[in-house]
Amino acid sequence: MAKPSSTQTADGWSIYRRLLGYSARYWPYFVISLLGFAAYASTQSALAHMMKYFVDGLESKDADLVTFIPLAVVAISIVRGIGFFCGNYFMSKISLSVVNDLRKQMFDHMLVLPSAFHDQCNSGELVSMITYNVNQVTNAATNAIKVLFREGLTVIALLGYLLYQNWELTLIFILVTPVLAGLIVYTSKLFRRMSEKMQSSMGRVTHISNEAIQGYRLVRSYGGEGYEKQRFHTASNSNTLQGIKFSRIASVQTPVFTFLLSLAIAALMYIVLLMAADTSAGELVAYVVAAGLLAKPVRQLSEINSTIQRGIAAADSIFGLLDEQQEHNSGSQVVERVSGRIELRNINFEYEAGKPVLDNINLTI
């Protein structure tokens, strides 16, 4: 069976860009969400900077700092909470609305596709596209986008703060970037291929289970329980195997990212200790804290790669369905009330091109 797919040469970014294009009508929510994530990201570097004043306050015993630091931490926490809520809530609202639009558009489009399309695609895979594939798009358009903006802006804010504090030391992180980027590109290709296999195997599981459940009496009448069990178990085992492979690569990717980042942080701390005599303790502590805060957002950014690739593979099949040409209604006569006479003239029909089932049929009923 030929699985619905968008253009064979379509790359992952073009597919994802088309998916995100569905969110254009919700741009006011997007602006609010982006501002919320920007506020949330700025609080990370602000908290790191508070450590400078805290350490300086310990050394100087400044009475003003005793009052300022706690109040500043509370204010930062309030801004952080408001930013987190606005960013997550409105981004989720956009993403779920987009998925709802896609699901309804898919269903409506299926109803007007020619019978040849439905003959070539089994019902299980079509149902799987509306249920399983759309869920993958939900993850890519909801969780992945939220993490991408929230943690991405956090990384930008922290790197900006580090560059402001000491740009020479910050180059250590920049030197690791090409290695991380290469790892992302390599794993992205693996994730997308595996996601396509998972969706195909899930379609077979849905198709076989639908056939067996709907044809329950027929299966029992001909003693086909064993055959149907074997078919379903084989399809289910194949889907599970693909999921385990996907999980294995996704689980390896994050520790590798974390290890490379820890090497950069270790080198950074070594250099900081060497230059401790030339810089105040508060500045050094603030810099190291900001560098340490980079680990969590970078790790979460590395984890969304698998989610996005799975969503791209799902969106590819969804757009392949939506790009199918709907059946043209060539009828030329509207009958308000039938007279009881049906006449067929020169009727031809085929399920597959070049394999006619009816050839020049004439019939009067």
Q: Is residue 331 part of a domain?
A: no
pLDDT reading at 261 higher than 70: no
- Tens digit of each residue's pLDDT (9 = 90 or more) over 293-343: 777 777 777 667 777 777 787 788 888 888 888 877 777 777 777 777 788
State pTM to two decimals.
0.62
Q: Locate tokens 């804290």: which residue?
A: 289
pLDDT value at 8 more than 50: no
Q: What is the pLDDT of residues 146-204, one digit of tens each?
A: 788 888 888 888 888 888 877 777 776 667 666 666 666 666 666 667 766 776 777 77
Residue 244 lies in a domain: yes
Q: Residue 339 domain-assigned?
A: no
The pLDDT of residue 3 is above 60 = no
Judge whether 313 lies within some domain: yes
What tens digit of pLDDT does each residue of 31-59 get?
A: 898 899 889 888 888 888 787 777 777 66
Which of 322, 302, 321, 309 lies closest to 137 in space, CA to CA? 309
Which residues are within 8 A (CB) of 44 and not within 5 positions of it... i.e. 6 or more apart? 154, 157, 158, 290, 293
Burial class for 304, CB neighbours closer than 10 Å (0-12, 13-18, 19+): buried
How many domains are there within the chain?
Answer: 1
Instruction: Tell me if 197 is assigned to some domain.
Output: yes
Q: Please report, for the domain that includes residue 317, its CATH number.
A: 1.20.1560.10
Host domain of residue 71 = 12-322
